[in-house]
């Protein structure tokens, strides 16, 4: 029984290598989630007949991740804002936001007033999509013309590509500076091949049998 327990422990240890570790996939916040709350990209009504939306891009470098959460510096000029803000994780197409992977509705009334210090909001993923290494993704923010919001800027010198929309995200062009945000995920570690598990189990069983035969 003791030998079989060792076998179980060994197999458990091998399978445990599949466990994902939580990490920051991307951030342009400063220490303690610092950002520039005195200026930002306008979201919603710009008082010129436009409905502004903004997007910023990031690329996981060398590891695939499960998307867990997004932290973003989002505020409202005339708090409380009347309508929700739509924050989305999207695919990239030719350097612009494209197909939505997952979207979130953030109540306008939950946002702090622009221009004053506040804590960024944390949005938790429900579907936990995979973020593939070397693939560009976008975070976008849009709302209605009933709101005048702000995606406040990073203060770390991040100059990643930024997308600007004048029609709430229907069409995009380049422009602006990146708002402050952070992507958190869990690194995906490749599961061991079934053959390696079988090989390990066979080897351990053979070792146990050999020791049992020798003892007999």
Domain 20-188 classification at class level: mainly beta
Task: List the beta bridge partners of residue 151.
Answer: 41, 74
Residue 147 CA: distances (Å) to CA of 51, 55, 211 = 9, 17, 75
pLDDT exceeds cutoff 50 at 149: yes
> Are the beta carbons of 131 and 60 closer than 8 angstroms?
yes
Per-residue pLDDT reduced to its tens digit, 14-49: 444 454 568 999 999 999 999 999 999 999 999 999
pLDDT given at position 19? 44
Per-residue pLDDT reduced to its tens digit, 86-101: 999 999 999 999 999 9
Paired tokens of 20? 């994902």
Delimit the domains of the chain by residue range.
1-19+192-216, 20-188
* Separation CA 176–CA 153 (nearest Å): 10
pLDDT given at position 201? 44
Q: Could you count the other beta carbons within 10 Å of the beta carbon of residue 160?
A: 14
């Amino acid at each position: 029984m003791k030998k079989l327990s060792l076998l179980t422990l060994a197999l458990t240890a091998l399978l445990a290598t599949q466990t994902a570790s939580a990490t920051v996939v991307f951030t342009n916040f400063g220490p303690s989630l610092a950002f520039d709350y005195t200026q930002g990209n306008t979201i919603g009504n710009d008082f010129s007949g436009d409905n502004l939306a903004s997007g910023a891009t990031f690329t996981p470098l060398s590891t695939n991740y499960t998307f867990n959460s997004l932290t973003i510096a989002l505020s409202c000029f005339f708090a409380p804002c009347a309508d929700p803000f739509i924050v989305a994780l999207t695919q990239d197409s030719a350097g612009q936001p494209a197909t939505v992977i997952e979207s979130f509705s953030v109540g306008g009334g939950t946002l702090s007033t622009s221009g004053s210090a506040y804590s960024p909001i944390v949005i938790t993923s429900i579907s936990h999509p995979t973020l593939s290494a070397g693939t560009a993704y976008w975070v976008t923010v849009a709302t209605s013309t009933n709101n005048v919001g702000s995606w406040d800027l990073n203060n770390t010198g991040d100059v990643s590509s930024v997308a600007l929309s004048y029609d709430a995200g229907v069409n995009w062009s380049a422009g602006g500076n990146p708002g402050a945000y952070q992507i958190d995920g869990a690194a995906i570690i490749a599961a061991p091949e079934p053959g390696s598990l079988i090989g390990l189990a066979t080897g351990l069983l053979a070792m146990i049998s050999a020791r049992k035969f020798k003892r007999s």
